[in-house]
Amino acid sequence: MTGATLAALDRVLEVTVLLGRDMTTSLAAEGLTVARTTLLWRLRAAGPSTQRALADALGVSARNVTGLVDGLAGAGLVTREPHPTDRRATLVTPTARAERLLEEMAAGQAQLADQLFGGLAPDRLDGLVAALDEVLERLRALVPGGAAAEETP
């Protein structure tokens, strides 16, 4: 019974590779990287956040967030504001330009979704989503920290 499941895993892995390549190049065209964009995306969902909170949300070290924020700040996409009550912390805040950019990226994502899945028969699409949900459930149980759900960028 290995055959069919292996075929499925193969497909998923290939999708992973191609999708990753597409994302990387698309972002590079706008001078962004995947890591920085992930942070930005999280910021859009959560609003101004502490670097510590961002580190936990992205599942990376606090030190790394410092570097990512440095880059984004250099690109004029975020600013570091003082935290109103905790003087140790800084609030990372997206700029207006960042919000405009995120808007565009969300639109682009919806367009990509239609491009990839729009041609599927509706019941096929539903089956795909349902199947992936089942797989995700098992995957989350398998991967440590799989429950940490930050909106998929």
Which chain residues interact with DNA by CB under 7 A? 33-36, 50-52, 55, 59-64, 66-69, 71, 80, 83, 85-90
Give me the 52-91 binding string for a copy of itself, x by CB under 8 A, dash otherwise: ----------------------------------------
Per DSSP bridges, beta strands 49-50 and 90-94 are antiparallel
**Size of the chain, expressed as the number of residues it contains:** 153
Of the two residues 85 and 115, which places its CB atom closer to a copy of itself in the complex? 115
Per DSSP bridges, beta strands 78-82 and 49-50 are unpaired
Of the two residues 1 and 63, which places its CB atom closer to DNA in the complex? 63
Query: With CB cut-offs between 5 and 8 Å by kind, which of DNA, a copy of itself, none does residue 61 bind?
Result: DNA
DSSP assignments along 18-49, one per residue = HHHHHHHHHHHTTT--HHHHHHHHHHHHH-SE
Pick the binder of a copy of itself from 47, 85, 87, 115 (CB under 8 A): 115
Residue 29 touches a copy of itself, criterion: CB under 8 A: no
Nearest to 24 by CA among 35, 15, 14: 35
Phi/psi at 16 (5° precision): -55, -50
CA-CA distance, 96 to 55, in Å (whole number)?
23
List of residues contacting a copy of itself (CB under 8 A): 1-2, 4-22, 25, 109-110, 112-120, 122, 124-136, 138-140, 142-146, 152-153
